A = this chain, B = another copy of it.
């Protein structure tokens, strides 16, 4: 793994990613930081996201409508993806057991680094149509 310098913007990115549970897109992170770092560029966001993934600081949890969604919470947990509004919600009560991985590894003669459990459906807000508060959902226009 290559040598890394400190970087203010990279630092801020990680801070933003880790302090939200919206499972943001690259663009959401970019917009979030634009006010503090007016000359930030999307390329930098993508480059640092790939670094975070390599380092295991951030994990890619889903691809919703063609956009990758990230999570700074790397502890094992499942997710629910609303196929209407694109919300991703943490599901803490299920999965994440490492013994799962080990079982698959020996059955298929492979190495298992991690697994994801993802539920798809319609979220509470979208079911009760009146609440249209998709303001904070990344990946929405």
Interface residues of A (CB under 8 A from B): 63, 80, 82-83, 89, 91, 93-95, 100-101, 103-105, 107-124, 127
Contacts and interface: CB of A to CB of B under 8 A. Distances in A.
A82 B100 contact: no
How many copies of the shown chain assemble into the complex?
Answer: 2
Most chain B C-beta atoms within 10 Å of own C-beta, residue among A63, A104, A109, A112: A104
Given A115-B118, A116-B118, A124 B101 contact: no
Contacts of A116: 116-118, 120
8 contacts: A63-B63, A80-B112, A89-B110, A94-B103, A108-B123, A108-B124, A111-B122, A113-B120
A121 B112 contact: yes
A111 B103 CA distance: 30
A29 to B, nearest CB: 19
A94 B94 CA distance: 14
A121 B105 CA distance: 9
Contacts of A94: 100, 103-104
Contacts of A109: 124, 127
